[in-house]
Amino acid sequence: MYTKCCEVDRSPTVNEDGTVDVELIQVDVSSGIEVTSDGVAIFNEYESKYITQYEDIDGTKEHLIVYTDYINVAIQLNCHDEAVDGLNNVFILARQPYLEAEYFDDVWQFLSDSQLGGVPMVMEDWESCQSKIC
């Protein structure tokens, strides 16, 4: 809502304490300035969830991966994101800036079957994210 062009980069290496370094890169909508936040992710090896904590953002955020095809797309549920008035947020994550129609259809079907559809969705316009275009 307040940012666009969100990208999260996760280190492929696990730290000695079991965390993974993460970097959140996003553009502030009002200023147009790209903001980078460094933090760590803590994964639960028995569940498809992880918690992130960023150096310059108060509190921790819980993220659940509720669907994935392991190759092209995943659906992430962020629980009680304080930055957006305490509401839960659903993110469709893709490896490419544009999700092919067949995978998009699978995502919509999952959202509908899980009663997560029918809520307003904001589609990221990656063409407006000049720093993210290859």
Is the residue at 126 inside a domain?
Answer: no
Tell me: do 73 and 44 sit in the same domain: no
**Whole-angstrom distance, CA of residue 26 vs CA of residue 57:** 13
Tell me: do 96 and 79 sit in the same domain: yes
For 86, the domain range is 58-117
Mean pLDDT for the chain?
81
- pLDDT tens digits, one per residue of 40-74: 999 877 788 888 888 887 778 888 899 999 999 99
When divided into structural domains, the chain yields a total of: 2
Tell me: do 72 and 105 sit in the same domain: yes
The SS3 call for residue 29 is coil
- Lowest mean pLDDT: which of 5-9, 66-70, 73-77, 120-124? 120-124
**Whole-angstrom distance, CA of residue 2 vs CA of residue 82:** 12
As beta bridge partners, residue 14 has: 20
Is the residue at 100 inside a domain?
Answer: yes
Return the amino acid letter for 34. E
